Chain A
Amino acid sequence: MTVSRRKAMIAAGAAGGALALGHARAQAQSYPSRPITLLIPFAPGGATDVTMRALAKAAESKLGQPITIVNRPAGGGAQAMQEVARAAPDGYTIMNSTAIQFAIAPHMREVPYNAATDYTPIMNYGAFNTFIAVRADSQFQTLKDLTDYAKANARVVTVGVSVIGASSHLGMARLAQEAGAQVTFVPFGGGAPAVTALLGRHITSAVVSGEILPHAASGAVRLLGTLMGARVPQAPSVPTIRELGYNWELNSWIGVAGPRGMPDAIVKRLEAAFLEAMNDDGFKRIMTETATATNRQDNAAARKQLGDDLKMYEALLRQLRLGRYAN
């Protein structure tokens, strides 16, 4: 979209918004009076899709209206992002939001949306687990063993990740940089193939999500740490990155957002419904079984998280000379 067209649309939106304000207030009182459409920018079947569907199902009874799920994975989710950015801010079109599309993608490449201004964050419910794993017979017993070795032997340690620019990759890159270690990242296009390569001794370590847990349980791999702020219930003995002496943590959040300019009353209604839905047993079960971390962030926290992350990832990617800052 050209700049002038975007400006024109914003102007039109503002004018229309002023006229519609009174109407919107009346609408907010009866909201929701018809089914809500929720776009998921991922293909069906993944952890984000499955957990979002479970949460939406639980929220239906709180809202008194059905929620229609539409998967729109095209363009790495860019199409869903665009569609929601252009939708009316009446609360009937919302989407599943993740740190990947909202906070990282805009710094990795040109995207047809502005994550900072085009959306209204509503709440966050989960986060991707991020573990640093080595094989059980590896010489590295602790994270420090690994970083020390990588410090002494530049680029010899290979780290399997899903893709370059995934939060797992960026988190490990930041960790390595702070530890003064030089590692080689090898992207596998997904967590599962990275785990397979780790088991087959093709790489030294892997920084992946919940798909590693069965292998940790079977004793095939050792988890050196989690990049998250809190220990994970499924692997309680694995230390967090803060416990290992780093002054930050990774929150690869998953939540719900809508278009810019949603009336406060509607945002509050959705926030309350989704937060309440998090207590649903069915939802909790799916979260545990997909090994997705629970990350309860209300509207204020979700807004702050998005703002902070946009700045943090920009600074990090500039430092690592990645994505749009490669040259």
Chain B
Amino acid sequence: MDVISGLIQGFTISLSGANLLWCLLGVGLGTAVGVLPGLGPTATISLLLPITYRLDATSALIMLSGIYYGAMYGGSITSILVKIPGEASSIVTCIDGYEMARRGRAGPALGIAAFGSFIAGVVATLGIAAFGPPLAGLAIAFGPAEYTALVTLGLVLVTQIGEGSRLRAFLMAGLGLLASTIGLDPISGTPRFTMGLAELQDGLDIAVLAMGLFGVAEVLALAAGPNEAARALDRPKGLRALLPDAADWRASGGPIARGSVLGFVLGLLPGGGALISSFASYVMEKRLAREPERFGKGAIEGVAGPESANNAAAQASFIPLLSLGIPSNVVMGVIIGALMIQGIAPGPMLVAQRPDLFWGVIASMLVGNLLLLVLNVPLLPLFVALLRVPQRILAPMILLFCVVGSYSLQNSAFDVLLVGIFGILGWSLRLVKLDPAPFMLAFILGELFEKSVRQALLIGVGSPMIFVQKPISAVLLASAVLVLLWPLLRIGLGRRMGAGV
């Protein structure tokens, strides 16, 4: 009851002229930022912060959150078109999205990402309306032990990603874990594997790895490959031909629905929830598919599921932010800063004291996703036309973007050098048919894994029993074991069934 009136109030606020404009500005900027590698939403939001001082709190938050999920969508555009993930959560989109583009299906891939995100946004908004702020409790129920278990499950899922053999995926995930240990020890603060370079103290940057292993490696592969005059793409016959067709929709319906729910639940967890949801969705769809071998070769389900999941997660993460004052990532941390400058303390009282703000922002996300759809669908032919740019022009441009993008991360030339090194590494990996996706994902999870394990052990005074004593952690660990043993179990079950018949 309360919720319905809240939502109605929210839509009234978010659809008012000025707020609609701020929302449009936010998603527009966000998309642009997401498309440009390196310039992430964190920097953009920080730089725009002074502008928001003059706005009222609701408008400010509507615009800032618009930048956030606009960037999520923008990141998927580059993932699909040129295989550069703009955001960590769109790494998975690179796998099948880029393959679709290579097969002349960039339009449906971009289309399904936009529609999927919108549908996920609707699901997440309904979820917030139905279950409401009490869900935030889940966010604080997760401590170091629970995170360790969640990340363990995530790591197990990572090894299920990627083409080729399980062994290769394990190898790459292991290397990713090792790479994540470069930098200051998360507990003692002593430098590890930095080779005496102060620049390596903070460890490797995810964006640097992504641009190198995916973007630059792709350019090198293009350069080394046969010189196609331009990619053999049919000139599309109009917008209709670029949109997902009936068969695409039939294939994507389930993934979008499952991805939305998965993303919503995991998005409630600060720290890695959104990222894990994107590839958990990918693995789930691969498992559920009738022909799992299509994954990695341009399966639309591999775009629809993860893109829906990361959008639902982005939206859900506003629950712990607004009702507990818990930021789920750096972007959210900056948004909290913006709220505090407005004199608003996020916390349990926020929903009760400022329903206009809470519901206004939640409703604006739905409006924003619709705006993204309206903005981007007419632009599809333009995006797709990019792929008809001859390689000899497109490839240097990608390289240029990677160089500018990596320099702008920290205003440091060292990062540009690293992008080059990882570009060559990424290309070599391709030559020996090793997939960089498990490496990247394990790298990101590795940091969280090491930190949580060691925190949990500190709290448990050195005893690993803490992982099984806590119920959430025990359940998650059990699921991880189950996923890992599933192939064996299936063989066992199959035999028994066979014997029965």
Given contacts A43-B42, A164-B188, A184 and B326 within 8 Å (CB-CB): no
Indicate whether B349 reaches chain A with its CB closer than 8 angstroms: yes
Contact segment of A65-73, A89-97, A143-151, A223-231: A65-73
What residues of chain B lie closer than 8 Å to A110, measured between beta carbons?
191, 196
What residues of chain A lie closer than 8 Å to B271, measured between beta carbons?
193
In the complex, what's the smallest C-beta–C-beta distance from B236 to chain A, in angstroms? 41
In the complex, what's the smallest C-beta–C-beta distance from B321 to chain A, in angstroms? 11
**Residues 93-133 of chain A: 1 if any B CB is under 8 Å from the residue's CB, otherwise 0?**
00000000000000011111000000000000000000000
- Set A111, A158, A189, A215: member contacting B198, Cβ < 8 A: A111
Instruction: List which B397-412 residues lie within 8 A (CB) of chain A.
Output: 410-412
**Residues 122-151 of chain B: 1 if any A CB is under 8 Å from the residue's CB, otherwise 0?**
000000000000000001111111000000
Indicate whether B324 reaches chain A with its CB closer than 8 angstroms: yes
Indicate whether B293 reaches chain A with its CB closer than 8 angstroms: no
Establish whether residues A323 and B190, one from each chain, have CB atoms under 8 Å apart when the complex forms: yes
Given contacts A202-B459, A215-B325, A215-B347, A45 and B191 within 8 Å (CB-CB): no
In the complex, what's the smallest C-beta–C-beta distance from A169 to chain B, in angstroms? 9
Given contacts A199-B324, A218-B347, A187 and B187 within 8 Å (CB-CB): yes
In the complex, what's the smallest C-beta–C-beta distance from A89 to chain B, in angstroms? 22
In the complex, what's the smallest C-beta–C-beta distance from B269 to chain A, in angstroms? 10
Establish whether residues A79 and B198, one from each chain, have CB atoms under 8 Å apart when the complex forms: yes
Contact segment of B78-86, B333-341, B438-446: B333-341
Indicate whether A74 reaches chain B with its CB closer than 8 angstroms: yes
What residues of chain B lie closer than 8 Å to A112, measured between beta carbons?
198
**Tally of chain B residues near chain A (CB < 8 A):** 57
Establish whether residues B347 and A156, one from each chain, have CB atoms under 8 Å apart when the complex forms: no
Shortest Cβ distance from A190 into B: residue: B333
Shortest Cβ distance from A81 into B: residue: B198
What residues of chain A lie closer than 8 Å to B191, measured between beta carbons?
109-110
Establish whether residues A76 and B45, one from each chain, have CB atoms under 8 Å apart when the complex forms: no
Count, A-B residue pairs, CB within 8 A: 153
Indicate whether A326 reaches chain B with its CB closer than 8 angstroms: yes
- Set B189, B345, B349: member contacting A323, Cβ < 8 A: B189
What residues of chain A lie closer than 8 Å to B336, measured between beta carbons?
192
Indicate whether A238 reaches chain B with its CB closer than 8 angstroms: no
Establish whether residues B459 and A203, one from each chain, have CB atoms under 8 Å apart when the complex forms: yes
Establish whether residues B190 and A196, one from each chain, have CB atoms under 8 Å apart when the complex forms: no
Residue from B196, B200, B340 with most neighbouring chain A CB atoms (10 Å): B340
Indicate whether B486 reaches chain A with its CB closer than 8 angstroms: no
Indicate whether B461 reaches chain A with its CB closer than 8 angstroms: yes
- Complex Cα gap A44–B194 (Å): 24
**Residues 32-69 of chain B: 1 if any A CB is under 8 Å from the residue's CB, otherwise 0?**
00000000001101110110000000000000000000
Establish whether residues B349 and A187, one from each chain, have CB atoms under 8 Å apart when the complex forms: no
- Complex Cα gap A202–B196 (Å): 36
Given contacts A187-B186, A193-B270, A45 and B42 within 8 Å (CB-CB): yes
**Residues 154-184 of chain B: 1 if any A CB is under 8 Å from the residue's CB, otherwise 0?**
0000000000000000000000000000001
Establish whether residues A74 and B415, one from each chain, have CB atoms under 8 Å apart when the complex forms: yes
Q: Which residues of B are interface residues toward A (Cβ below 8 A)? A: 42-43, 45-47, 49-50, 139-145, 184, 186-191, 196-202, 270-271, 324-327, 330, 333-334, 336-337, 340-341, 343, 345-349, 410-412, 414-415, 451, 455, 458-459, 461
Task: List 20 additional A-B contacts (Cβ < 8 Å) besides A74-B202, A158-B459, A326-B188.
Answer: A43-B46, A45-B49, A45-B333, A49-B46, A50-B49, A71-B410, A72-B412, A73-B202, A74-B198, A75-B197, A75-B199, A75-B200, A76-B184, A110-B196, A196-B326, A203-B459, A214-B347, A217-B345, A289-B343, A290-B340
